[in-house]
């Protein structure tokens, strides 16, 4: 029986067609944020805190049988890790390099089956062979970061499951980020070869939503210092301070934010509010699990 065959009607396999396959914000994580806004657990100032986040990052590469040794080589993975490490170090998060695994398998090298929960906007399953791959390569606690690279992901360049409150240990194998090999540093993806796609996806892993979540309506990304905006495309430009897709609301589009869709060379910052969100989601949802 395949994963898709036992899904209820409210869940479906979705064809994804953007830089990041995430289309919304998970209801359970929004619930955590809303429940704690009054007592400021997720929005308190982090000034003076010394409980620095320590995360071990494990990388897994699935390639075709005819791929060369240069395809997503260990050297390239280490370059990607260093970009992640240097970026997140500026925000009080220390990343350590764990394992690097390499799978030579023509089937697993293409992530083609996406079973998603609409309400949570998360991957809940794949083909039996791919799920087995995830299970046998997943190690560590809920604090361990696992990043998978594939020759191709059908319909999108990347996807990462959010921190999910009360995720069962039996489902830890679903807690991961998935990216195409061509968005690695030096890859072939247009505007996406500086390595910041991984920074973007790991931002989701730490609890960040897209800066354009909700467009010009509602709570947006639930962070006060990211101005409301609609989707900014990756067209190779970096219109900082000049693009304003929600002109009736304060601020211009934060196109240089890692959680936007602008081209890699443009994205270079998280806001103080995003800094706080990442830390507080980690301690409230991931730590000690």
Under the phi-then-psi rule, with left for phi > 0, alpha for psi from -120 to 50, and beta for the rest, what region is 220? left
Phi–psi pair at 117, nearest 5 degrees = -90, 120
| Residue located via tokens 């061509």 | 182
Phi/psi of residue 77, nearest 5 degrees:
-60, -40
201 is catalytic: yes
Which residues have CB under 8 Å from 39's CB, separation 6+? none
- Residue 13 DSSP SS3: strand
Among candidate residues 19, 122, 151, 201, the one labeled active-site is 201
Q: Tokens for 115, please give them.
A: 């079973």
CA distance 167 to 159: 18
Both tokens assigned to 118: 């609409």
Give Cα separations from 136 to 23, 196, 228, 281 (angstroms). Answer: 28, 27, 41, 27
The residues assigned a catalytic role are 201
């Amino acid at each position: 029986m395949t994963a898709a065959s036992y899904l209820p009607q409210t869940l479906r396999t979705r064809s994804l067609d953007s830089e990041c396959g995430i289309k919304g914000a998970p209801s359970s994580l929004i619930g955590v944020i809303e429940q704690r806004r009054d007592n400021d657990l997720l929005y308190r100032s982090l000034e003076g805190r010394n409980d620095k986040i320590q995360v071990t990052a494990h990388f897994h590469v699935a390639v075709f049988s005819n791929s060369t040794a240069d395809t997503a080589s260990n050297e390239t993975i280490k370059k990607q890790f260093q970009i992640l490490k240097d970026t997140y170090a500026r925000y009080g998060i220390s990343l350590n390099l764990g394992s690097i695994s390499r799978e030579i398998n023509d089937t697993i090298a293409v992530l083609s089956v996406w079973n998603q929960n609409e309400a949570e906007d998360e991957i809940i399953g794949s083909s039996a062979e791919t799920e087995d791959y995830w299970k046998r390569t997943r190690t560590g606690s809920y604090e361990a970061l696992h990043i998978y690279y594939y020759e191709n992901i059908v319909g999108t360049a990347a996807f990462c499951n959010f921190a999910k409150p009360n995720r069962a240990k039996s489902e830890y194998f679903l807690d991961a980020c998935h990216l195409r090999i061509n968005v690695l540093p030096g890859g072939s993806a247009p505007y996406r070869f500086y390595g910041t796609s991984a920074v973007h996806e790991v931002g989701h892993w730490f609890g960040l939503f897209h800066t354009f979540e909700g467009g010009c309506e509602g709570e947006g990304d639930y962070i006060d210092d990211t101005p409301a905006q609609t989707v900014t495309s990756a067209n190779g430009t970096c219109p900082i301070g000049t693009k304003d897709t929600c002109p009736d609301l304060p601020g211009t589009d934060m196109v240089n934010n890692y959680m936007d869709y602008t081209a890699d060379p443009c994205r270079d910052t998280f806001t103080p509010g995003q800094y706080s969100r990442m830390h507080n989601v980690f301690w409230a949802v991931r730590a000690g699990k």
